[in-house]
A and B are shown apart, each in its own frame.
Chain A
Amino acid sequence: MDFAPSFALIIPELILTGAGLILLLWTAWAGDKAARPISLAAVLAFLVSGLMLVPGLHSGAIGPDTLAFGGLLKIDSFALFNKALIYLAAIGCLLIAPAFFNSEAAGSERGMRAEYSVLVLFAALGMSVMVSANDFMSLYLGLELNSLAAYVLASILREDTRSAEAGLKYFVLGALASGILLYGVSLLYGFTGGTDFAGVREGLTGELGTGALFGLIFVMAGLAFKIAAVPFHMWTPDVYEGAPTPVTAFFATAPKVAAIALTARVVFDVFGAQVDAWRQIVMFTALASIVFGALGAIGQENLKRLLAYSSINNVGFILLGLAVATQAGAASMLIYLFIYVAMSLGSFTALLMLRSESGDLYETFGDISGLAVTRPAIAWSLMLLMFSLAGIPPLLGFYSKFVVFQAVVEADLIAFAAIAIAASVIGAFYYIKFVKVMFFDAPTDLVVGKSGFAHWALLGVMTAIISPLGYLLTPSISDLAGKAAGALFAAV
């Protein structure tokens, strides 16, 4: 068997693997002193492998040429689109980290650890495998590579009990989810006799047996855990609150993209012949995520917890696009993912900039009271981000809801769309609470710490993307998303 074409397809992953291993050695010898150059090297590795994605993305890679290693991986433009998003999110999370870890208040105990960048690299590598998986074996491999790196990332502040708690919770619940997923996979293997997506799909045509149905449900439950969709969302607020903020930003963006892309791949490629079986599950989780994500956020005082609920809420909208089970729906889901990543990165960067003189982070509503007077630039950016998350035009967040609901209505699920959009109004309540606290309340003058260039630059770029200027990006994004969705459906 000639592996040359297969290796040519996974060049980005090879670059990431090589970079990860080299940087790991560098870390081992140079220690934390070299944390900053290592993080820059990691950014460079992401940029280079990201550039490798461009030709395939542009031409819309599709068809049998995209299969690698005898069908274990499928590097089509759907995989490429999600990889590009993952790499971009990872770069963002690498850039915002040093300023957070190396603050004066923290001292040497909390300094930026060199492993951070290496772990992000390996996590992203795992996600790369996840989004291009075409077999349950490679799926699980990617998932676990990502998860193991992520568990360590969550507890990277070893001295901090909240961080340790977040890591432990993430690990226990993540392991449980992996177990559930694996059990589902084993059931599917037992009833269909294969682990590759095409083979399982073939075995699932016609009447769905009880055993295979259980397999499907367990697989869906495991995936729902990974994307933090209701009713498997309960770990999210705790982990998001406890993990260091740059890590939370990472969790809210890259793994979410990977897990959602994986879910899409599984439901269309594996369960494509059983649309009715999985569709009701996805429809229920979508609606439940929107409603519970919105209701759960209302009472929250902690901003990171609130953004955790917000991400649950957003996952609900992304799943709406999936529930449509059409190519337009899948494309809308990808557009939503892109905009969601920009909004989340921007919001978490803004949270990272809420610092005291000594560099401690502020995390509650009380701390940002009257921010518009004391720190207008942060407050205005955060206001735009929040209105965008709420889906108020003319911000780009509206466009993401626009495409998703358009796809839902085109598929004639009007009642479903009406309920979902009415529930989105509940969500608007807590997003505008941000604005109320920052703009209407009396200033507290707590947030006085300076922020570094990286934070300002990232916040500026993300705010520009979600501002009305972002609409100029929509023709090219929807073109790419259309090609990616086309590739996803090509096999079906």
Chain B
Amino acid sequence: MDGFPILTMMMCVPLAGAIICLFAGENGARMTALAATLITFALGVLLWLNFEIGGAQWQFTEKADLVAGFSYSLGIDGIALLLIMLSVFLMPICILASWTGIKKRVGEYMSAFLFMETLMIGTFAAQDIFLFYVFFEAGLIPMYLIIGVWGGDNRIYASYKFFLYTLLGSVLMLIAMFWMTTTAGTSDIPTLMQYSFPAGPQTWLWLAFFASFAVKVPMWPFHTWLPDAHVQAPTAGSVILAGVLLKLGGYGFLRFSLPMFPQASAEFAWLVFALSMVAVVYTSLVALVQHDMKKLIAYSSVAHMAIVTVGLFAFNVQGLEGAVIIMLSHGLVSGALFLCVGVIYDRLHTREIDRYGALSNNMPYYAVFFLLFTMASIGLPGTSGFVGEFLSLAGIYQISTTVALVCTTGIILGAAYMLYLYRRVAFGPEKNEDAQAMGDITVREWAMLAPIAAVVMWMGVYPESFLAPMRGDIAALDARLASAVPASDSELVVAAPRAEAANAVAPVEGHSDGGAH
């Protein structure tokens, strides 16, 4: 693979597809988009196969001086590899999901998605901090269009909110980046990851990055754009939003906040924990009372992402690994759940939970898939959700038992709202004739759901495939964070040793002369 610019290729293929889609007819655009995403996925597989586990930290590096001020340099480590794989894997599925649902302005729609794919790969592969920012921010444009043009009734409000909220979060980060590059004298991410900024400015830098990433993750109370955006976006838009865009926030913490500002991260861990605890409990309760399926899953996303942030700030290997696995798992599972909603939405054109019921009778295969993803969302052992949540919570337990306790209730609440949703949709009495008349999933829908189901099971049964590529990077990050680990409340407290053995029986008064033993 030496010298072949595979990362650039992976960005160029969807970009070329995006331009062709604008000019191709409706069917031409669909076919072009599918072909482009499949080729990119094939390149992604090639990328993974050629990724040398345990090799250099940064692989497939490319560098070109095209721009004054920053450089076009790409390269990936194991974490970026996994997130790129998630993006290129979900993308063909998104295209399939929009195959019949999108009827107006198909060319522009497909083009926006392909453009999005280019930007996502670029964000994860960028090795220059400004190049990262360019890709990170540019994603606003296609997503704004996707929500605004093809969204539901309240799409304008949702698109404005999404755009302005995330923009405000990011611009402060840009100022922080300028300060960092001026101080460190380079905009190269690997170098900056090793650079020690003074403790005072670290606080401000951390807050500036937090302003951006907390909105993207999203953390409570910066999450309010998410339910609006999800509900209004078309199905595939929700899949990309939940599947990949939310991961940008977590990736940002992992790539910037933690390694670049370890002391500030430790200092603000309490803030992250507090917000995450609120998010887990509050958004789970909110999810419980939703009538709209998409809104329910959107709130559940906030709860799951809160466990990601908790894991990230656990400052140990389990927490970090767990956080990455939840990001991957949540990308797959919530994406799949949105697809499941999309499947029945395409048939009945409503997301109202009460309009459905007893779908397991007339849509048995659908019910099976839906059940699998419901269970994966809850975190049932054997699915990907379990691995991530277990690792994260095990990680955080080493730092704070309280946080672990509160966050674990999220699993119980998650089971509550997901099973309640499933019961109302798939079981129960037959309520609506039109819902009972819906046909089971088609071949196209099989092709969307089956691959995700397979990967969810794979990740649940043999997570080593996903842990291996990032092990070295997590270990490096853990070593970098070692100096700043906050005090733990679950350490064993060593008391003063007792005078005698623990099982010694105190002599009883009056029987000191022995007797019956």
Contacts and interface: CB of A to CB of B under 8 A. Distances in A.
Nearest to A407: B178
B144 A435 contact: yes
A436 B141 CA distance: 12
B175 A409 contact: yes
Interface string A385-419: 00100001110001100110110111000100110
A472 B134 contact: no
A439 B159 CA distance: 12
Nearest to B179: A409
Interface of A is mostly: helix
Contacts of A394: 134-135, 138
Nearest to B150: A440
A402 B174 CA distance: 9
A436 B137 contact: no
Contacts of A435: 144-145, 148
Contacts, number: 95
Contact of B69 (A372, A421, A478): A478
Contacts of B167: 392, 425, 428
Given A393-B137, A409-B178, A472-B66, A440 B155 contact: yes
A454 interface: no
B39 interface: no
A421 B164 CA distance: 13
A429 B159 CA distance: 11
B156 interface: yes
A478 B68 contact: yes
Question: Most B CB atoms within 10 A — which of A418, A472, A477?
Answer: A418
A410 B182 contact: yes
Contacts of A440: 148-149, 155-156, 159
Contacts of B38: none
Contacts of A425: 164, 167-168, 171
B168 A422 contact: yes
B105 A373 contact: yes
B141 A387 contact: yes
Interface string B450-476: 000000000000000000000000000
Contact of B174 (A373, A403, A405, A410): A405
A387 B141 CA distance: 8
Contacts of A402: 69, 130, 174
Contacts of A422: 168, 171-172
B369 interface: no
Nearest to A428: B167
Interface string B125-141: 00000100111011011
B145 A439 contact: yes
Interface string A352-390: 000000000000000000001100000000000001000
A398 B163 CA distance: 16
A270 B175 CA distance: 32
Interface string B106-137: 00100000000000000000000010011101
B58 interface: no
Contact of A432 (B69, B144, B175): B144
Given A417-B175, A428-B163, A398 B134 contact: yes
A405 B145 contact: no
Interface in A98-119: none
A71 B144 CA distance: 54
B144 A414 contact: no
B345 interface: no
A429 to B, nearest CB: 6
A410 B182 CA distance: 6
Contact of A393 (B66, B68, B133, B178): B133
Question: Most B CB atoms within 10 A — which of A372, A421, A477, A478?
Answer: A421
Nearest to A384: B141
Interface in B151-168: 155-156, 159-160, 163-164, 167-168
B67 interface: yes
A421 B172 contact: yes
A456 interface: no
B69 A392 contact: no
Contact of A474 (B69, B155, B171): B69
B504 to A, nearest CB: 66
A424 interface: yes
Nearest to B136: A393
Contacts of A477: 68
Nearest to B155: A440
A475 interface: yes
Contacts of A392: 137-138, 140-141, 167
A8 B459 CA distance: 76
Contacts of B133: 393
Interface in B319-374: none
A375 to B, nearest CB: 14
Contacts of A399: 67, 69
B148 A403 contact: no
A471 interface: yes
A201 B458 CA distance: 76
Nearest to B180: A409
24 contacts: A372-B105, A372-B108, A387-B141, A392-B137, A392-B140, A393-B137, A394-B134, A402-B174, A405-B175, A409-B179, A410-B178, A414-B175, A414-B179, A417-B178, A421-B172, A425-B168, A428-B163, A432-B160, A435-B148, A440-B148, A472-B66, A474-B68, A475-B66, A478-B69
Given A436-B156, A440-B156, 5 more contacts: A399-B69, A403-B69, A424-B171, A436-B159, A475-B66
Interface of A: 372-373, 387, 392-394, 398-399, 402-403, 405-406, 408-410, 414, 417-418, 421-422, 424-425, 428-429, 432, 435-436, 439-440, 471-472, 474-475, 477-479
Interface of B: 65-69, 105, 108, 130, 133-135, 137-138, 140-141, 144-145, 148-149, 155-156, 159-160, 163-164, 167-168, 171-172, 174-175, 178-179, 182
Complex A-B, nearest 3 residue pairs according to Cβ-Cβ distance, in ascending order: A409-B178, A478-B68, A393-B134
